Structures are given as structure tokens and as C-alpha cells.
Amino acid sequence: MKAQLFGVLASIVFIFFFALIFRSDPTPRRVPAIKYIPVPAECPSVEKPRTPVDQNDRFRVVPLNFINVNFKNRSYGQYKLPTGKPIDLTLAGGDYEYNFKGGDLGWFHLRDIFFADVTGDDTPEAIVFLWHIQCGVSCDGGSGLFYVYRKQGDRLEEIWRYETGSNDTSCGLKAATIMNTQIVLQMFGHCRQNDFEVYGSPKSQTADQTILSFQFNGKRFVKVGTQFISSPPANVENYEPQISIIQ
């Protein structure tokens, strides 16, 4: 009996120690919670940088009366170069280059074409803007050359032509404003008619400003006013002239 009792006690003690050694961890393991980020029904769009609106775009639309006129490939009549040599200014693809003996070197380039009623007849006219660069020892900054045409049947009638000076010398174009039957040119320098005066300022350094006003008289545009504005010399090299059409 003693031996059996001792055996039972020994078995109980063995089972107890075995349970202590191999028991499982009673503390439950914590599983990290998963955070769900709600997805919107529509993803927000990224706003693209806005392109500046050109207020003159609506005046570049070709009206029916000019639909058959190719301003990039046509003659603009006779033009007299600074040396007095006459040329037939005929654009091909919007350009005309010349290189003659005696220092006549340069080119013309079609910068822009606008269509607006500038005569008050409720029919749009064509305002052609050329850029003329002349070269000698070096090239000037370029001068603005304007033509205004109205359509008479199948014929183009030139009702205005004007060329400014250049920024490298004097009387370069600062701005042009076309409003109803009036054209206003603002130029750098002190300018009288086409006799552009230079006061010995360094290249591209121009003092003062000149405002010329032109009015349509029923047949042509004629000059009706000249205004001089005093201003200190300023560097106008590579200045980009501003063209505004107000209607």
C-alpha cells in the first residue's frame, strides 16, 4: 500500500511540474489594428497653371472679306532702304531678306495680322505688322512697320503705312493702340515725323517718349497730334512692343 501510495504521489508531482514547464502563455497576443483610409468617390483634380489670355486673339480671326488674301506671300509695294535704294518688298512665307552692295543688309518678317473695323463702316480692315531689321557693323533692334488695308471688291486699298525707328538708335516702338478710327503709337525717344533724332546716348539707351495720334479722315489715316513726354534714359534693348486693340 505504501509503495502504491508513493507511486501515485510521484505521478501527481510529475504531472504538476510538466504542466508548469509546457503551459501556454495565458496572455492573449495583441494584433495591431489595421487602419483603413476611405477613398473618395472622385479624386480631386490638380489645377494646371493658367495660360495668360491674349486679348488680341479674337482680332486674328480672318473675316470673309479677307479669306482669299495671303499676307505671307504678297507684295507690299516699293520700299526705300536707308541708302535710298528702292526695292519691291515681296514676302515669301512671311519673310524678305536683302543684301546689296553698299551696306544694304537686313530682312523683313511678318509679326502679326489683326482684323478690326478702323474706318467706322462696320466692315473689318486688315492691320499688318512687319518687323524690319537693318544691319551694318551690327544689326539694330528692329523697327515696326504697319500697313492698314481695306477691301474694295477684289482689290486691297492701302489706307495707312508707317515705320518707327529702332530701339538701338531712337524712336523704337513701345506700344500701339488701335481704338475705333484712331491709331496711337508710343515710341521711345524724341521723334518728329520720320526724322528720328538721336542725342548721342549709348546704344539702346533712350530718353523721353513720343506719342503720335492718327485719325481716319474718310480716305486715309492722317496725323492729328504729337505729344512729348520727358523721361530719363532707359535701356530698351530687346524690348517687346505691346499691341492693343480696343473695340
pTM of the model: 0.75
Residue-wise DSSP of the chain: -HHHHHHHHHHHHHHHHHHHHHPPP-SPPPPPPPPPPPPPSSPPPPPPPPPPP-TTGGGSSPPGGGTT--TTSSEEEEEE-TTS-EEEEE-BTTEEEEEETTTEEEEEEEEEEEEE--SSSSS-EEEEEEEEEEESSSB---EEEEEEEEEETTEEEEEEEEEEEETTTB-BEEEEEEETTEEEEEEES-EETTEE---SPPTTEE--EEEEEEEE-SSSEEEEEEEEE----EE-TT---EEEEE-
List the chain pLDDT tens, one digit each, 247 residues. 555 555 555 566 556 555 555 554 555 555 555 555 565 555 556 666 666 788 999 999 999 999 999 999 999 999 998 788 899 999 999 999 999 887 788 999 999 999 999 999 999 999 999 999 988 777 888 999 999 999 988 899 999 999 999 888 779 999 999 999 999 999 998 887 544 444 444 456 778 999 999 999 999 999 999 999 998 888 888 889 999 999 8
